[in-house]
Amino acid sequence: MSTEPNIAGEASGVLHGKPAVQAYWQAALARMPELHFELIAVLAGVNSVVLHYRSVGGKLAAEYFEFDAEGKVSRAAAHYA
């Protein structure tokens, strides 16, 4: 199984909290200012959503977001082809 480059400096592959997510996106956009995503589908579930899209170089990706009772993301996972 291949892994994506470690942009956030987090070896576990898990980001916790808004500051960590912000740092991840700041680093990603600094390295790839032309970053573009093409949305393929939004799949809605009970208290969750999956975004299916094309990422850098046309690679397929999907991200899963689970929401708590307050409507905030409580769990998320990203998957890349």
Identify the CA nearest to 60 among candidates 37, 32, 31: 37
DSSP 8-state secondary structure symbol assigned to residue 56: G
Name the percent of the chain in helix, strand, coil, to the closest 5.
Answer: 20, 40, 40
pLDDT above 50 for 14: yes
Q: Model confidence at 79, in pLDDT bands (50, 70, 90)? A: very high
Number of residues that this document lists for the chain: 81
Tokens of 36: 């573009």
At 62 the pLDDT is 97
For the entire predicted model, the pTM comes to: 0.70
| pLDDT per position as a tens digit, 50-76 | 999 998 889 999 999 999 999 999 999
